[in-house]
Structure 1
Amino acid sequence: MFLVALAYLAFFSIALPDSTLGVAWPSMRLDFGLSTGAAGLVPPVGVAATLVATAFASRLAARFGVGRMLAASTWLSAAALVVSATSPGFAQFLVSVALMGLSGGVIDATINAYAARSFGARRINLLHAWFVVGAALSPLLVTAFVQTGLGWRWPYLVIAGLQLALGLLFGLTHARWTSPTAAVPGADAPVSTSPTAAKRGDVVLGLVAVAVQTGIESGVALWAFTFLTLGLGVDPVVAGLLASGYWFVMFAGRVGLGSLAERVGPWPVMGGAAVGLVGAGILAWAGGQWGAMAAVLLFGFAAAPVYPLLILTTAERTSAVVADAVVGYQAGASSIGAAVFPLLLGLAMDRSVASFAPALTALTVVAALLHVAMRVRVGRRREAG
């Protein structure tokens, strides 16, 4: 149980630096002498570093051990946050972003792979629920420091201290974290760190499903407030409460629907979630102001269990032999989806804010079709024995 709690704390902690930039940037850009739009240079650096890390995470964990990799990655994160806090200019800050991307990518992929092998549906959803908590609390932390006049640098140092302590815990418990080879079902099967050992179609379906799913989640998080206020005339205070409520219901959904998936299995819950996402898209598109307001909360609840359960079912959809490697690639696909699809939604909204709803509805339909395709392929594999 201690390792489970430590995994939860790790996911909570890696969410903290991811959510600081939005609140810190107005003060940060003044220190660096940059325009507001320069913030757009930050995500591509982090995503690129994350992709590199997730591609090699399973190989590194298999060679050095899960516990050692988590300890080293967490200490790297602490070092990166110190560099962020002490950066004299934007170039140094971008170096810290790259280091955080490397460390966060390894932690994300390694713990997700461990959870897919060791957790049930309830625990893996709770793992991702703690990520939501970290993402929600981080802006509050930065706001508190900025409003009290201490500036944007101190929050990075506080989070670095947490990462340093967490790395120490990982180091002390490194022997207790099972290696990928020890936990893979079917000890007689050779373990591979390359996803090519599974059917290409199954791997690709999973990668696309993860990218689309995180694209939906990030797209709603980024653009719902703008759509409600500028597109539908919702009061900004109400829209702000709904934007926060989106994260609250996502947390509640991961807690509640994770427990449900533990009882009925992941596939019925993912199927219901797919229907809920399409329903939310239609409600946002055709439900008027009140329908769109309700849709924001429905998006959060319906999206909540999907990504954790996609991670959990990786071995079933592909192969237990390559599950760890595929989980790593899916973590990379998640970063791509979270970066690309909100950008595309933003470009569509530049032409018309109202285009948010139909574009997002189209994404939810794609997500539902991908779910059906994966479920059909899993069913055929079961029939084939």
Structure 2
Amino acid sequence: MFLVLLAYLAFFSIALPDSMLGVAWPTMRIDFGQPISAAGLVPPFGVAATLVATSLTGRLLARFGVGRLLAASTLLSTASLVVAATSHSFAQFLASAVLAGLSGGAIDAALNAYAARWFGPRRISLLHASYVLGAAASPLLVTATVQAGLGWRWAWAVVAGVQAVLCGVFLLTRHRWTSGDRPASAGGGAGRGLAGARPLDVGLGLLAVAVQTGIESSVALWAFTALTQSAGVSVVVAGTIASGYWVAIFVGRVVLGWVAERTGPWLVMGGGVVGLLGAAGLGLLGGPVAAPIAIGLFGLAAAPVYPLLTLTTAERTSEAAADTVVGFQAAASSLGAAVFPLLVGIALDRSASGFALAMAGLCIGAALLQAGLQLRRRARRVAGTS
């Protein structure tokens, strides 16, 4: 149980840096002498580094193990936060974003790989719910330090301290991450590349993860704009709904993870994409009533899908390939979170109904991919019994 709680804390902590920039940038940009638009340069550096780290995680896990990789990654995360907190130029801060992407990507993929092998639906959903809490907490931390007159740098310093403590704990517990009860997905042979996995199964899973995180990130980024510009919702109400979206994701992961523990992950994933289609339909209907309900439903319906896609990786591919594929899926998640919100933003810029239309397309894509995964699962079952 100690390692489970530690994994939750680690996922909470890696979310903290991800959500601080937006709140800190108005003050930070003055220190760096940068225009407001320069903030858009930061995510590409972090995403590129994350893609490198997550893609290599399977090999790193096979060589060093979960405990050592987590200790090294949190040490790198601490270093990135210290570099950010002491940056005297924007170039220095961009360098810290690269370090943060490498460390965060490795921690994300390593913990997801561990959770896919050892956790059940409820625990892996709670793991991802803890990330939501971290994403919600860090803007409050930045606001508190700035309002207290300490400046944005102290927020990064506080999170660096948290990561340093985590690094020490991971170092002390590095040998415990390979022991314990029988994993949730029985078997062995982790870390042998893509052994036993069919390219079609791997590809479908990568696309499903990319589209899923694209949906989550697009709603998070554009819900407020869409509600105020095309749905006739007031600024105050739209802001409340945009915050409530994260609450819906958190509640959905807690509650539906518990449901998946009893019904199995596949039924809940199927129900999730049906819910996404319902949310998309409400979004197309629009208006000050249907549109806000759609945002909440997007959060609830999307909540369990990515954690459960991670959990079922070995079942969809192979036990031997699971760690490597989870790393690739984490990379696909980062790529989807970067690309699809950009495309949705372009659609919204061209038409007031662009957000609803783009989200409907993404949700239909998610449903088709989920149907493909379900069909492949049934085909494997038939082949296994023949």
C-alpha distance in structure 1 between counterparts of 2:196 and 2:314, whole Å: 12
DSSP 3-state at the match of 1:341: helix
- The residue type paired with residue 92 of structure 2 is Q
- The residue type paired with residue 269 of structure 2 is M
C-alpha distance in structure 2 between counterparts of 1:196 and 1:25, whole Å: 45
| Residue equivalent to 1:368 | 367
Q: CA deviation at 1:192?
A: 4.3
Q: CA deviation at 1:193?
A: 3.5
- The residue type paired with residue 185 of structure 1 is A
- The residue type paired with residue 121 of structure 2 is A
Q: CA deviation at 1:321?
A: 1.0
State the TM-score, normalizing by the size of structure 2.
Answer: 0.97
C-alpha distance in structure 1 between counterparts of 2:40 and 2:362, whole Å: 23
Deviates more, 1:361-370 or 1:349-358: 349-358
DSSP 3-state at the match of 2:292: helix
Identical amino acids, percent of aligned pairs = 65
Flag the 1:253–1:191 CA change in 2: closer, same or farther, 3 A.
closer
Q: Which runs of 4+ in 1 moved over 4 A?
A: none
C-alpha distance in structure 2 between counterparts of 1:382 and 1:237, whole Å: 51
**Contact 2:8 2:130 (C-alpha < 8 Å) held by counterparts:** yes
- The residue type paired with residue 162 of structure 2 is L
C-alpha distance in structure 1 between counterparts of 2:143 and 2:284, whole Å: 33
Residues 187-213 of structure 1: CA deviation (Å, up to 9, x unaligned): 4xx544423641000000000000000
Matched, 1:160 2:160: yes
C-alpha distance in structure 2 between counterparts of 1:287 and 1:24, whole Å: 33
Residues 279-310 of structure 1: CA deviation (Å, up to 9, x unaligned): 00110111422000111110100000000000
Q: Equivalent residues in 2 for 1:226-375 (5 A)? A: 226-375=225-374
C-alpha distance in structure 1 between counterparts of 2:329 and 2:69, whole Å: 19
| Residue equivalent to 1:124 | 124
C-alpha distance in structure 1 between counterparts of 2:162 and 2:125, whole Å: 23
The total of aligned residue pairs comes to 382
Structure 2, unaligned stretches of length 5 or more?
none
**Contact 2:81 2:156 (C-alpha < 8 Å) held by counterparts:** yes
Flag the 1:35–1:352 CA change in 2: closer, same or farther, 3 A.
same
- The residue type paired with residue 352 of structure 1 is S
Residues 51-74 of structure 1: CA deviation (Å, up to 9, x unaligned): 110111121121112101101100
Flag the 1:353–1:146 CA change in 2: closer, same or farther, 3 A.
farther
Q: CA deviation at 1:353?
A: 3.1
C-alpha distance in structure 2 between counterparts of 1:152 and 1:192, whole Å: 41
State the TM-score, normalizing by the size of structure 1.
Answer: 0.97
C-alpha distance in structure 2 between counterparts of 1:225 and 1:287, whole Å: 14
C-alpha distance in structure 2 between counterparts of 1:372 and 1:282, whole Å: 19
| Residue equivalent to 2:187 | 186
Deviates more, 1:35-44 or 1:330-339: 35-44
Flag the 1:245–1:191 CA change in 2: closer, same or farther, 3 A.
closer
DSSP 3-state at the match of 2:37: helix
